């Protein structure tokens, strides 16, 4: 079964990254979430990234704040698609994380999402869409999700003056 890895540099990133997990769960996509720090556990990072495909992962979602090297370093050690989620930082409110993740050199790709919870949720959605290429039941769940979004907007689209 295709599954998605959700990795983050610290447990403090989990409130943001669990939005990716919730999105994957809603589509019935198997995932595994773990802490892998680019700076504090570099050997674990290499071991994880180099073995991810053999572990059955098809996509990796990596969340990081501050210097945010985790997504890029994972991408450097695997052929799997990596989606980077900038986590809000105290110093620069996540802008530092965004710039660190999005500025990858040519030849090492990381798909970068928005800062914070919306970006993490969209990373989960994007990972599910990749899985859906091989799993029709996930594709159907995504179609239903999209239709529900459309229906909700249309049901609540009437504007009135106060």
pLDDT (tens digit, 9 = 90+) per residue, 112-129? 999 999 999 999 999 999
Q: Which helix (H) or strand (E) covers residue 111, if one does?
A: strand 111-112
The answer to whether 84 and 71 have CB atoms below 8 angstroms apart is yes
Instruction: Give CA–CA dist 116/35, Å, rounded.
Output: 17
Residues 14-29: tens digit of each pLDDT: 999 999 999 999 999 9
Q: Is the pTM of this model over 0.85?
A: yes
Is 1 a residue whose pLDDT tops 80?
A: no
- pLDDT at site 114: 98
What the block records as the tokens of 108 is 């090492």
Residues 120-154: tens digit of each pLDDT: 999 999 999 999 999 999 999 999 999 999 999 99
Quote the Cα angle for 79-74-76, to 5°: 60
């Amino acid at each position: 079964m295709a599954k998605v890895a959700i990795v983050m540099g610290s447990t403090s990133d989990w409130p943001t990254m669990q939005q990716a997990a919730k999105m994957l769960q809603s589509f019935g996509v198997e995932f595994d979430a773990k802490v892998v720090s680019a700076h504090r556990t570099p050997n674990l990072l290499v071991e994880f990234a180099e073995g991810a495909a053999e572990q059955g992962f098809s996509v990796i979602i990596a969340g990081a704040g501050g210097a945010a090297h985790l997504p890029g370093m994972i991408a450097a050690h695997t052929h799997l698609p990596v989606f980077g989620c900038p986590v809000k930082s105290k110093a620069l409110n996540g802008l530092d994380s965004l710039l660190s993740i999005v500025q990858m050199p040519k030849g090492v790709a990381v798909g970068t999402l928005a800062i914070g919870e919306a970006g993490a949720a969209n990373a989960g959605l994007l990972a599910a869409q990749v899985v859906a290429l091989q799993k029709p039941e996930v594709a159907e769940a995504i179609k239903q999700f999209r239709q529900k979004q459309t229906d909700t907007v249309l049901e609540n689209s009437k504007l009135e003056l106060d």
